């Protein structure tokens, strides 16, 4: 993990970019996005020490995995499916750890628990107690017109973002800051084609509107969306 926060961390990650899977070359925009990501991640890496719990290390690994997925989602091309985004992300992380192993002069392949990695990449469907109170505690108002299942989906997603100190896809800023949802956020609700509860995906409001106008899809799932699927989250 320390390799990521080193001065050469950006180049190490970009060298591991799986061009053979995406046919997309590393661009200046991608380089800038990775640099911003590494800067934010480095702040968290420096807080770790030998006494850090396994949960803290896993939390940081989850951030690494999801940030990598976000970059793949932005640059993998409009035609890429959600499954392809996940596949490229896993290949990228696997290649990155292989680079780290080689840099350290170690023999053999780095061992990657791909099932755990897939769990990191997927937002689990669960529930929270008093979802409306969760929204209120984070400063969200004006949700009375939403159905109970949508409120639950948003509350679950916001609670996860707060616990894992997640960064927003487009801006790279923390979604929840000092216990409050950052200003200018929105949510996209994606309903399962096979039933079950909906999923909520959090984005900067202005950025997701621009993305939808250009691509007509959700960045993570690649399912078709329209402007009416984007719900602004109003902060008191």
The pLDDT tens digits for 142-172 are: 888 899 999 999 999 999 889 878 889 999 8
Give the integer Cα–Cα distance in Å for 42 and 48.
10
DSSP element (H, E) containing 102:
helix 82-103
Mean pLDDT value across residues 8-16: 75
Q: In whole numbers, what is the pLDDT of the chain averaged over residues?
A: 80
The pTM of the full predicted model, rounded to 2 decimals, is 0.68
CATH topology of domain 131-235: Herpes Virus-1 (3.30.40)
Q: How much is the pLDDT for 101?
A: 74
User: What residue ranges of the chain are covered by domains with CATH 1.10.274?
Assistant: 2-121
CATH topology of domain 2-121: Enzyme I; Chain A, domain 2 (1.10.274)
User: What residue ranges of the chain are covered by domains with CATH 3.30.40?
Assistant: 131-235
């Amino acid at each position: 993990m320390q390799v990521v926060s080193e001065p050469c961390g950006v180049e190490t990650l970009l060298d591991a970019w799986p061009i053979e899977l995406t046919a997309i070359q590393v661009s200046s925009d991608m380089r800038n996005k990775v640099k911003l990501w590494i800067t934010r991640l480095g702040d968290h890496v420096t807080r770790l020490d030998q006494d850090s719990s396994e949960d803290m290390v896993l939390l940081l690994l989850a951030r690494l995995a999801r940030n990598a997925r976000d970059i793949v989602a932005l640059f993998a091309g409009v035609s890429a499916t959600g499954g392809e985004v996940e596949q490229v992300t896993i290949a990228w992380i696997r290649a990155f750890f292989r680079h780290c192993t080689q840099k350290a002069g170690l023999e053999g392949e780095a061992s990657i628990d791909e099932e755990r990695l897939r769990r990191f990449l997927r937002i689990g469907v669960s529930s929270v107690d008093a979802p409306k109170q969760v929204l209120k505690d984070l400063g969200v108002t004006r949700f009375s017109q939403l159905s109970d299942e949508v409120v639950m989906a948003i509350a679950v997603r916001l609670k996860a973002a707060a616990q894992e100190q997640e960064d927003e896809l487009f801006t790279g800023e923390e979604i929840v800051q000092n216990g409050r949802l950052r200003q200018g956020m929105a949510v996209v609700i994606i309903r399962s084609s096979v039933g079950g509860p909906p999923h909520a995906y959090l984005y900067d409001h202005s950025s997701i509107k621009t993305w939808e106008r250009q691509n007509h899809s959700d960045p993570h799932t690649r399912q078709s969306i329209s402007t009416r699927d984007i719900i602004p989250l109003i902060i008191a």
